[in-house]
Structure 1
Amino acid sequence: MTGNLAHLTLAFGVLGNIVSFMVFLSPLPTFYKVYKKKSTEGFQSAPYVIGLFSAMLWIYYALLKTNAMLLITINSVGCFIQGFYICFFLFYAPKKAKMECVKLIVLLVIVGFGLILLLTQFLASGINRSVIVGWICLVFSLCVFVAPLGVLRQVIKTKSVEYMPILLSVALTLSAVMWFFYGLLLRDFNIAIPNVLGFTFGIIQMILYFIYNNKKLVTDEKMANFEERIKKMEEQKIPEPKEQKVVIDVKQQSALMCSNFLPNMVAKINKSGCEDDRVAIESQACRNVPNHTIEVMA
């Protein structure tokens, strides 16, 4: 019975190592984008510094426990990967982001971990040391698992799962399940308890993804139909008439006006018997006609 329990513990530990390794590799597409653009843009260094700090804490705790070798293996790999991410970030980040990253490294990795190491070594001994470090790991892991609550609130508010990748949520949920059973079989509740919260939040994330992802698909379909209708309406729209030039010969029009106006005038003059005035009026009416044309746009 004890042998079967040991094999089962080993199996969950190995599976936890595999899934956690995949989770550690999940930011690779992000850093590929950084490499292509030669800039970190709006990406933050905090998740990688926190990941490095967490991995160092768990290695220290596993060394004190002496029977949690699988914790040491995966967190050693995690330290190496997170350290690589941080170096990569510092290489491509602008000056301001570099300074913030360095400050966070000093605060958590150097000062924070250094104080935990020194205080537990000098102020605690034996089993008390492992208990204290275990509680620190427990509290810190709970804080890390609570962090996605901001993402869940954003998903509910915007009704969009754009910033909540489903594959990462599934991987984190599986990782929490494996490490929960590993801690439970080891009877180490410092390992088991935080992963209960991680499993719970992972299930909630997946439920929200399937709820709001379907709504997003429906919205996209409606928008596509609307755009298609607009396109058809534009294709059926009658083309506007082209501009046309109308040329008016001012001299010709003035002459025409003279021909219509003068006979009436002459008729009136003839009735009054003033023949000489007719000639004066005719020459005066047609003398100042301009000799040019006007183009009118219609």
Structure 2
Amino acid sequence: MVSHLLNTIRNAVGITGNVIALFLFLSPVPTFIRIWKKGSVEQFSPIPYLATLINCMLWVIYGLPMVHPNSTLVVTINGAGTAIEVVFLTLFLVFCHDKKKRLVVLLIVVVELVIAAAIATVILTQVYTTQRRSMIVGIIAILFNIMMYAAPLSVMKLVITTKSVEYMPFSLSLASFLNGVAWTTYAFLPFDPFIAVPNGVGTMFSLAQLLLYGTYYKSTKRIIAARKESKMESEMHLSLSEVAVANGGVVPKKTAGAAP
């Protein structure tokens, strides 16, 4: 009876975790709408999406029945996450105008695909028990899962340097925090260290991002407002210059003592 109740609670938390994780994977949509409209990736970093891609692929391998039985919820959400990250990275490559940066991102994606394929091949052909497969893939997945949560550290450095959270989307930070909490809870029903450890660490990283957001939110609004005002002044000066050019480029002046 207790076991059945525990399993029911675990499934309920897992489904909740899936919904939150889906929100996490889709949270960069506003960022990519902005990129689409501006036709440029600006200062947005591809690191979080690259880290999430390899993370999702490894958790799909971990959740396979022949690796870690009874982990369907792990497979479904990470399979969806893999597809979503592929779309985001494709858009990033399309709108990245720095050829060197675009090539680096593309090479990293290829390397990640090779790593995931190699791990799956070795695990399924050279390791013969689900317990050992779970342990090996779980340890590797922990490392990449922590990398996914730690990926925004570069953005956090930018936030502290510029005192602006413009390039650290709030939706992504909030979704990361809620996702970490949900999957940490899931990992204790029953205890699964391979899910608990990275998501516990991820919860702390995400909390740090939210604290930064609260700290620099007001200064960000001031910076954006000042930028808009500067842009308006520049456009006004440009308009005056165009009027001057239309009038011959010279503003007539009166000369003192000149004969009428």
TM range (shorter): 0.7 to 0.9
Matches within 5 A, 1:88-127: 88-94=91-97, 95-110=99-114, 112-126=115-129, 127=131
* CA deviations over 1:95-123 (Å, ceiling 9, x no partner): 5444323311221112x112212332344
Percentage of identical aligned residues = 34
Q: Closer, same or farther in 2 for the Cα pair 1:56/1:10, shift >3 Å?
A: same
How far residue 140 of structure 1 moved from its aligned partner, in angstroms, is 1.4
Matched position secondary structure for 1:186: coil
How far apart are 1:92 and its partner, in Å? Answer: 4.3
CA-to-partner distance for each residue in 1:157-209, whole Å, 9 max, x for gaps? Answer: 44333333323211110110000011111311100111111111222222222
SS in 2 for 1:2: helix
**Matched residue, 2:241:** none
Q: Which amino acid aligns with 2:207?
A: I
Unaligned runs of 5+ in 1: 228-241, 249-294
Provide the aligned C-alpha RMSD in A.
2.9
Q: Structure 1 residues 99, 148: CA separation in 2 closer, same or farther (over 3 Å shift)?
A: closer
Q: How do residues 264-275 of structure 1 correspond to structure 2 at under 5 angstroms?
A: none
SS state at 1:185 partner: coil
Q: Does 1:54 align with 2:55?
A: yes
Q: TM-score, normalised by structure 1?
A: 0.67
Work out the number of aligned pairs and report it. Answer: 231
Paired letter, 2:111: L
> Relative CO higher for 1 or 2, CA cutoff 8 Å, sep ≥ 6?
2
Q: How far does residue 131 in structure 1 lie from its aligned partner after superposition? A: 0.5
Letter in 2 for 1:32: I
Structure 2 contact 27–171 (Cα < 8 Å) conserved: no
| Residue in structure 2 matching 1:174, options 165, 178, 181 | 178
* Shift in CA distance, 153/98, structure 1 to aligned 2, threshold 3 Å: closer
> What is the match of residue 30 of structure 2?
29
Give the superposition deviation at 1:135: 0.5
The one-letter amino acid of 2:14's match is G
Decide whether the 8 Å contact of 1:46 with 1:104 is kept in 2. Answer: no
Match of 2:78 among 75, 80, 95: 75
State the partner residue of 1:192.
196
Q: What whole-Å deviation, never above 9, does each CA across 1:5-28 have from its counterpart, x for those lacking one?
A: 112111211111111111111222
Q: Whose Rg is larger?
A: 1
Q: Please say if residues 48 and 151 of structure 2, whose CA atoms lie closer than 8 Å, have aligned partners that are also in contact.
A: no
| Structure 2 contact 35–41 (Cα < 8 Å) conserved | yes
Q: For each residue in 1:217-256, what CA deviation from the matched residue of structure 2 results, as whole angstroms up to 9, or x when unmatched?
A: 68899x8xxx9xxxxxxxxxxxxxx8465356xxxxxxxx
